[in-house]
Structure 1
Amino acid sequence: MLQNRVDPLGRLIFTEARGHWMGNRGRIHNEKKQITHRFRLKAWITCLLEFRGRKRVVMAPNRYTELFFLDEATAFAAGHRPCFECRRKAFNHFKACWLKGNPEYGFTEKTPVKEIDAVLHKERINKKGEKVTYEEAFSRLPDGVFVLYQSEPYLVANHLLHQWTPFGYKKTIAQPPLKNVTVLTPRSLVNTFRAGYQPQWEEVQ
C-alpha cells in the first residue's frame, strides 16, 4: 500500500480505497516509493486516470508522483486544479470561472496559469507547511466546497453536510448550528465555484 491518496486537507494518506482522479505535485517520492516531500511544484494539478493510452508505473524512479483523489471536489479542497494537457476543456472553463470569480487580481485570459498557481499556493499551505483555512458563513458557500466540522472534513451539497471518507461519503447532517464554518477549499476556488464551475463529486448517501 502506497501513501498516494489525498484527503480534503491536502494530506497524503495510506488507504486501500481507489481514486477516480489522478494528479501530481512533482516528484515527491524516493526510490523506495516513500513520500519525502509534500510538494515540489506550485502547480498542483488534477488529471484523468486514462489519457491517450499512456501507461505508467506508479512512483517509478525519477518520475512525478501519481496522487489519487476520491473525486474532483476533494482535489479542489486540497488545492489542485484541472490539468491543461489531459483536461483542456475543463481547464479552460476553470480558468474563465477563476478570472470571473476573482477580479481583484486583475488577471486576464492572457495571464499565465502559473500566476493563478501562485495565488493558490498561498491559499492552500503556509510557510510552516500547514493547511490554510478561513471562516465563512455556511449560507454563502456553494456546493462542492469542503468545510471542517467537529474536526472532520465534510462536503457541502444541497444545503447539507456529507462526511468524507477515503471510500466515499458515509454520513449526512443538516446545516450546522454555527453561523460561520471553517472552509478547507481555497478561497479563490470557492469564488470559482460561485462563478459557474461545478466540481464533480461522488454520489452522497
Structure 2
Amino acid sequence: MARRNRVDPFGDLHAVPDHGLFTGNRGCLVNEHGELVRHHRGLLWITCVLEYKDWKSPLSAPRHWTPLFFLDDAVALAAGHRPCGLCRPAAYRSYKEAVSRARNTDAPLSAAELNRSLAADRLKPGRGMNRSTDRKTWAANIDRLPTGTVIVDDSNRACVVMPDEIRAFDFGGWMTPEPRPDDQPVMVLTPPTSVAALSFGYQPLLHPSVHELRANATRPTNPYVR
C-alpha cells in the first residue's frame, strides 16, 4: 500500500505509487505511531537526491524527518521546496547564487534567509493536512516566466511552463503538450523566490516526460486537479 508521501505542485500529500526524481522533507510529519498528522513542521523545506552515500531514510519514524517524493524540480519548487545543501550542493549553490543575483545582494543569501523567504511566499494562515486553498499565488505575464515555472490555468490545473508549450501535472509525468499562451496574465504557483532563481540561472532537473508526446495520456482526476 502506497504511503501518503508524494507531493503535488500545490504542496499537498497523496498516496500514489510513483516516486519521481527526488525525495526531500519538511520536518517530521508523523506521530509516535508513524501516522501522518501534519502538513509540515518548520521552515526548512528541501529537495534531496534519492540516494546519498549509504544513508537510509526513515519512512515514518517519529522524531525524524519524514521523506517525501517529487516528480521533479519543477514540482518541488512549485510546492515551496529548495535544493538541499548537503546532498545537492551544486544545485543548492546555483539556486542561492541565482536568487542573490536577482536581488542584487552584496553576498549570497544564507540558507536561513532562503528558508524565511520561501516561508513567506508559500502559505496563507491556515491549518490541516490539505493546504492547497491556503497557497499563495501571484499574477505575472506568461512571457516573463522562465522555463520550469508552474502556473495554475483556468481549469485549476498545475501546468509547467516550457519555451513553446505548457503541460499539465500528473504524478506519472507531465501531460500532453498544449500551446503556450502569448502575452497573457496567469496565476503563478511557483514562489517568487524560486521564479527569481529560475530567471537568473538556476537550471531545474525536469522529468523526462516533459519532452515526450504523451498522445494517449488522460488528464489527472481529483484530488490532483482542483
Aligned partner of 1:156 among 161, 169, 181: 161
Match of 1:112, as an amino acid?
A: S
Tell me the distance in 1 between the aligned counterparts of 2:73 and 2:85: 15
After superposition, the CA RMSD in angstroms is 1.6
Q: Does 1:15 align with 2:19?
A: no
Tell me the distance in 1 between the aligned counterparts of 2:162 and 2:39: 29
Shift of 1:35: 2.1
CA 1:161 to 1:69, structure 2 compared with 1: closer, same or farther past 3 Å?
Answer: same
Aligned to 2:146: 142
Q: Does 1:192 align with 2:197?
A: yes
Deviations 1:90-143 (A, max 9, x none): 11111111101123xx4622x431111101101011122511100110111110
Q: Does 1:170 align with 2:175?
A: yes
Shift of 1:180: 0.5
TM-score normalised by L of structure 2: 0.84
Instruction: State the SS of the aligned residue for 1:170.
Output: coil
Match of 1:27, as an amino acid?
A: C
Tell me the distance in 2 between the aligned counterparts of 1:69 and 1:170: 16
Q: Does 1:31 align with 2:32?
A: yes
Q: Does 1:202 align with 2:201?
A: no
Length, aligned pairs only:
202
Match of 2:171, as an amino acid?
A: P
User: Percent same amino acid at aligned positions?
Assistant: 32
TM-score normalised by L of structure 1: 0.93
Shift of 1:31: 3.4
Match of 1:195, as an amino acid?
A: F
Tell me the distance in 1 between the aligned counterparts of 2:110 and 2:198: 20
Aligned to 2:102: 101
Report if aligned partners of 2:6, 2:16 keep a CA contact under 8 Å in 1: yes
Instruction: State the SS of the aligned residue for 1:188.
Output: helix
Report if aligned partners of 1:102, 1:192 keep a CA contact under 8 Å in 2: no
Shift of 1:41: 1.4
Instruction: State the SS of the aligned residue for 1:162.
Output: strand
Tell me the distance in 1 between the aligned counterparts of 2:13 and 2:115: 20
Q: Structure 2 unaligned runs (5+)?
A: 128-133, 213-226
